[in-house]
């Protein structure tokens, strides 16, 4: 009877999570194929990825190519592949459920499964159903989820608590079945969300330092080490494929991008926009930066910490070293105020002079000293020796929050640390250029908070009468729901199916115009219905040719479309909307673009396939020595043209306006037959119209080439995606100087050149 009652109470908790999920997201469950949650961007991207995974064998060559961003290869490696979510969606799609409905089933399941997994973890640690229910509620409905409603892969965090459950149970029992669960759950984390797999490694490392006894037999360490290494066996080929494709494209994240997608310290009190009961000034919100953890769980943990502190000496014996650390930290804080209040100063110290120009350096010293003081306190040392679970998860939540601050840590945009802990993670392979959003450590904060909240509830109410305990649980549950509730829950109607007229050949690829984030997502969604390769694409990265293609189309360079139609016919669908009217005016002038049909929503043009041979790159021995380059704008950047680094570039001043010029002086007068403009990662910055003139002296200039370069840049980005080297050749001519003049107009892109070369005759 007791067993049956326990099962019934567990089932009631699950049903409560299901009910709350349906209530918060209503009416999504009534017609999951009729709406997309939050917006028509990433949800449609995920819908396409789940459909692709269901209809192709994962990790095969054809699967990696993805058939978006056509004709570029390796599209699946430009974002999370989401294979792990296929455990839910693949059977549904193969059973006839629409890809969008399958996506939404996985979306709704992510709430319930995350809550249930946290519930099971917390119950295994507390044996308190009320505490476990609170943990599930905190984790399954955490405010961080509302910041990422479009990102199914980030919401699907239900394997993280299972990892901790497995490793906790192994340390308690040393049974190998828990190691098997650890291996399986780590693999599923990796195949669901790459971010969480690598970020979880930090939490597991701290967990091992805290919980694993130092006196274990060697065979136990070997078992645990083997279990932690085994997930890399299936994962390694996937990681190598990602690395190979990323290297092919020369992809990477800049430090600026990583810092922009780190949490600001103010972000911890910044509520995500969808929350119903909390709000923050719009100026506080940054991309991915609203990482508000909720008031209720945080206060519950704080109260438990106060209760635990009462009656204890806390500091233990007074330590002169710790007292000195506190004093020095106060001095460092005072020094940090100097540049903030008075500006940069120099302080004479005998024969030396101490320069204080930035607050973040003394703040870093003060922070390290206070951290050392805190971590050497008797309270924390006692908790570590006892492997105290509550202390670990409270401290781990704080540690994960610090990692979410990124490599520098900022407060209201101002740097506060010389190097935050995430900067050390960036020394590991993959972290420096593979992960652009340290703020996503906030999901691990939510996980630690959920467990700590369950343990805190148990500590505080352990001696309370049942009625008082039930009342406390009710108040906390209500508070958690207030912290996390989303209303109204935004739903969007997905795009109508794309009508592909019979005039379009069966082997034709599709390009939908105009392009853009939501337009490209719609094109990918349409691909789940018509099944053809699509030249559009939306992902975490975009292959270099796609930015150039978008810019060329925007500026009416129709030759770029011919490049895309080199392997198979290209059907261009131009939307009948006012924004596309200009496209309809110039596209018919493309000699190979033939109007073949009109549907209620699109005009359809067809370009026949015409195979294109890659442009040969010149022999390096034919490159001529450049003595000097002068620029009509941004002359301070011309050194970047010759530094051999494709990630640095000369960037014109503002959108191209037709007056920019680069003048090249060679080491001597000699025969010249062409130039190479390498755009590297700046392919949209190609010159819209380029004129090349040469001079042998006496101030006379001879024009040797002029024309658009959009099509050449798209072709170069497909042939040479790392450097995007655009070769422009002309008949050999004697010259000492070359002048490149950009004479076109662009509404958005600056003329940008990463590397510049001049070539002699072949």
pLDDT tens-digit map of 660-679:
999 999 999 999 999 999 99
Contacts of 21 (CB under 8 A, 6+ apart): 108, 111, 112, 140
> Do residues 546 and 516 lie in contact, with contact meaning Cβ atoms separated by under 8 Å?
no
pLDDT at residue 315 above 60?
Answer: no
* CB 669 within 8 Å of CB 760: no
Closest CA to 136 of 302, 128, 272, 104: 128
- Alpha carbon of residue 574 to chain centroid: 31
Per-residue pLDDT band at 300 (split at 50, 70, 90): very high
* Higher local confidence (pLDDT), 736 or 313: 736
Secondary structure, 3-state, 426-456: CCCCCHHHHCCCHHHHHHHHHHHHHHHHHHH
Domain boundaries along the sequence of the chain: 2-30+80-299+422-484, 317-376, 509-607, 620-759
The pLDDT of 175-196, averaged and rounded, is: 95
Which contacts of 636-640 are long-range, i.e. CB under 8 A and separated by 24 or more positions?
638/662, 640/754
Tokens 């490694």 found at:
201
Question: What Å distances lie between residue 707 and 35, 97, 175, 590, CA to CA?
Answer: 47, 51, 72, 16
* pLDDT at residue number 590: 63
Residue 265 carries which DSSP code?
G
Q: What mean pLDDT do residues 719-728 have?
A: 94
DSSP symbols for 329-386: HHHHHHHHHHHHHH-SEEEEETTEEEEE--SHHHHHHHHHHHHHHHHTSHHHHHHHHT
Residue 713's pLDDT is: 95
509-513 vs 570-575, strand pairing mode = parallel
Which range among 294-303, 334-343, 450-459 shows the weakest confidence by mean pLDDT? Answer: 334-343
**How confident is residue 581, by pLDDT bands cut at 50, 70 and 90?**
confident
| pLDDT score at 212 | 92
Work out the average pLDDT over 554-558.
Answer: 83
Higher pLDDT, 177 or 325: 177
- Coil vs helix vs strand at 598: strand
Residue 150 has pLDDT above 90, yes or no: yes
- Between 547 and 356, the more confident residue is 547
Over residues 623-662, the pLDDT tens digits come to 999 999 999 999 999 999 999 998 899 999 889 999 999 9
pLDDT grade for 430, boundaries at 50, 70 and 90: confident
Q: Indicate if the pLDDT at residue 425 is higher than 60.
A: yes
**Model pLDDT, residue 2:** 37
CA distance 437 to 195: 9
Residue 604 has φ and ψ, to the nearest 5°, of -115, 125
Residues 507, 569 contacting (CB under 8 angstroms): yes
CA distances from residue 760 to 530, 673, 713, 734 in whole angstroms, order as listed: 49, 5, 21, 10
Instruction: Identify the band that residue 222 occupies on the pLDDT scale cut at 50, 70 and 90.
Output: very high
pLDDT of amino acid 753: 96
Cα separations in angstroms, 498 against 39, 42, 505, 527: 19, 19, 15, 9
CA distances from residue 472 to 6, 19, 170 in whole angstroms, order as listed: 21, 22, 33
Question: Which residue in 79, 35, 191, 61 sits closest to 538, CA to CA?
Answer: 79
Asked whether the beta carbons of 298 and 324 are under 8 A apart, the reply is no
497-540 pLDDT, tens per residue?
999 999 999 999 999 999 999 999 999 999 999 999 999 999 98
pLDDT in tens, 254-283: 888 899 999 999 999 999 999 999 999 988
Give the mean pLDDT of 572-600. 81
pLDDT digits (tens, 9 = 90+) for 44-85: 999 999 999 999 999 999 999 989 999 999 999 999 999 999
Which of 609-613, 644-648, 720-724 comes out lowest in average pLDDT?
609-613
- Tell me what pLDDT residue 594 has: 87
Which is the CATH superfamily of the domain at 620-759? Galactose-binding domain-like (2.60.120.260)
Confidence of residue 418 (pLDDT cuts 50, 70, 90): confident
Distance CA 532, CA 67 (A): 8
Q: What is the pLDDT of residue 352?
A: 66
The residue assigned the tokens 């800049």 is 254
Q: What is the per-residue pLDDT across 698-714, written as a single tens digit (0 to 9) for each? A: 778 999 999 999 999 99
| pLDDT tens-digit map of 465-498 | 989 999 999 999 999 999 999 999 999 999 999 9
- DSSP E strand boundaries for 609-754: 626-631, 650-651, 660-678, 690-695, 702-707, 725-742, 752-753
**Residue 12 confidence (pLDDT) above 70:** yes
Q: Give me the pLDDT at residue 677, please.
A: 95
Taking phi over 0 as left and psi of -120 to 50 as alpha, with beta for the rest, 589 belongs to: alpha
pLDDT of amino acid 330? 80
Determine the straight-line distance between the first and last CA of the chain, rounded to whole angstroms.
90
The stretch 203-228 carries a mean pLDDT of: 93
pLDDT at position 446, please? 97
pLDDT for 325 equals: 76
Name residues whose C-beta falls within 8 Å of residue 32's C-beta, 6 or more positions apart in sequence: 100, 101, 104, 105, 108
Q: What pLDDT was estimated at residue 432? A: 66
Question: Under 8 Å CB-to-CB from 196, ≥6 apart: which residues?
Answer: 157, 160, 189, 440, 443, 444
314 pLDDT band (50/70/90 cuts)? very low
Q: What is the pLDDT of residues 326-375, one digit of tens each?
A: 787 787 777 767 766 666 666 666 666 666 667 777 787 878 888 888 88
- Of 88-97, 414-423, 445-454, the least confident: 414-423
- Residue 163 pLDDT > 50: yes
Q: Do residues 165 and 451 lie in contact, with contact meaning Cβ atoms separated by under 8 Å? A: no
* Structure-model confidence comparison of residues 483 and 412, the more confident one: 483
């Amino acid at each position: 009877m007791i067993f049956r009652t326990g099962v019934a109470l567990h089932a009631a908790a699950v049903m409560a999570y299901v009910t709350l999920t349906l209530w918060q997201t209503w009416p999504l469950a009534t017609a999951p194929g009729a709406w997309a949650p939050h917006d028509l961007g990433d949800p449609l991207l995920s819908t396409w990825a789940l459909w692709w995974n269901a209809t192709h064998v994962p990790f095969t060559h054809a699967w990696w190519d993805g058939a978006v961003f056509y004709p570029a290869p390796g599209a699946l490696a430009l974002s999370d592949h989401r294979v792990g979510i296929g455990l839910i969606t693949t059977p549904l799609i193969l059973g006839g459920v629409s890809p969008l409905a399958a996506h939404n089933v996985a979306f709704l399941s992510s709430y319930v499964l995350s809550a249930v997994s946290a519930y099971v973890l917390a119950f295994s640690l507390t044996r308190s159903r009320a505490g476990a229910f609170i943990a599930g509620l905190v984790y399954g409905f955490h405010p961080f989820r509302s910041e990422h409603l479009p990102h199914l892969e980030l919401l699907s965090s239900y394997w993280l608590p299972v990892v901790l459950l497995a490793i906790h149970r192994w340390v308690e029992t040393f049974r190998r079945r828990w190691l098997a669960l650890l291996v399986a759950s780590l693999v599923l984390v990796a195949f669901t969300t790459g971010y969480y797999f690598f970020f979880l490694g930090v939490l597991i490392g701290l967990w091992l330092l805290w919980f694993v006894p130092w006196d274990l037999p060697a065979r136990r360490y070997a078992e645990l080490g083997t279990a932690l290494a085994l997930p890399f066996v299936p994962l390694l080929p996937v990681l190598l494929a990602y690395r190979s494709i990323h290297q092919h494209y020369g992809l990477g994240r800049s430090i600026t991008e990583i810092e922009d997608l780190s949490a600001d310290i103010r972000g911890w009190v910044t509520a995500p926009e969808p929350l119903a009961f909390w709000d923050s000034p719009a100026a506080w919100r940054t991309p991915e930066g609203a990482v508000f953890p909720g008031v209720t769980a945080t206060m519950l943990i704080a109260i438990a910490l106060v209760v635990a502190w009462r009656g204890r000496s806390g500091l233990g014996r007074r330590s002169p070293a710790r007292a000195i650390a506190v004093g020095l930290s106060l001095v460092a804080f005072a020094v940090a105020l100097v540049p903030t209040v008075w500006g940069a100063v120099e302080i004479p110290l005998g024969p030396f002079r101490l320069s204080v120009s930035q607050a973040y350096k003394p703040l870093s010293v003060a922070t390290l000293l206070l951290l050392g003081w805190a971590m050497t306190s008797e309270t924390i040392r006692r908790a570590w020796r006892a492997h105290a679970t509550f202390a670990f998860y409270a401290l781990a939540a704080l540690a994960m929050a610090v990692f979410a601050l990124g490599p520098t840590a900022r407060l209201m945009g101002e740097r506060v640390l010389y190097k935050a802990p995430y900067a050390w993670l960036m020394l590991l392979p993959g972290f420096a250029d593979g992960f652009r959003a340290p703020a996503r450590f906030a999901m691990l904060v939510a996980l630690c908070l959920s467990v700590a909240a369950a343990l805190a509830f148990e500590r505080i109410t352990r001696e309370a009468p049942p009625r008082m305990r039930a009342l406390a649980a009710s108040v906390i549950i209500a508070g958690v729901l207030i912290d996390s509730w989303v209303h109204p829950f935004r739903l969007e109607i997905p795009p109508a199916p794309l009508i592909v007229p019979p005039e379009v050949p069966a082997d034709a690829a599709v390009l939908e115009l105009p392009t853009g984030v939501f337009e490209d997502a719609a094109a990918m969604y349409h691909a789940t219905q018509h099944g053809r390769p699509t030249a559009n694409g939306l992902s975490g990265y975009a292959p270099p040719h796609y930015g150039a293609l978008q810019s060329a189309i925007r500026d009416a360079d129709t030759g770029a479309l011919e490049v895309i139609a080199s392997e198979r016919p290209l059907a261009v669908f131009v939307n009948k909307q006012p924004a596309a009217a200009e496209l309809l005016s110039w596209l018919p002038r493309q000699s190979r673009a033939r109007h073949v049909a009109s549907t209620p929503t699109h005009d359809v043009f067809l370009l026949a396939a015409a195979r294109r041979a890659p442009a040969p790159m010149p022999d390096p021995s034919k490159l001529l020595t450049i003595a000097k380059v002068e620029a009509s704008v941004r002359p301070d950047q011309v050194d970047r043209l010759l530094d051999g680094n494709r990630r640095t570039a000369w960037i014109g001043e503002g959108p191209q306006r037709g007056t920019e010029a680069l003048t090249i002086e060679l080491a001597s007068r000699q025969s010249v037959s062409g130039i190479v403009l390498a755009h590297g990662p700046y392919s949209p910055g190609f010159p819209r119209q380029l004129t090349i003139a040469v001079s042998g002296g006496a101030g006379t200039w001879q024009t040797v080439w002029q024309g658009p370069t959009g099509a050449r840049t798209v072709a170069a980005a497909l042939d040479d995606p790392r450097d995007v080297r655009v070769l422009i050749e002309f008949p050999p001519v004697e010259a000492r100087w070359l002048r490149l003049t950009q004479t076109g107009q662009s509404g958005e892109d600056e003329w940008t050149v990463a590397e510049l070369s001049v070539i002699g005759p072949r």
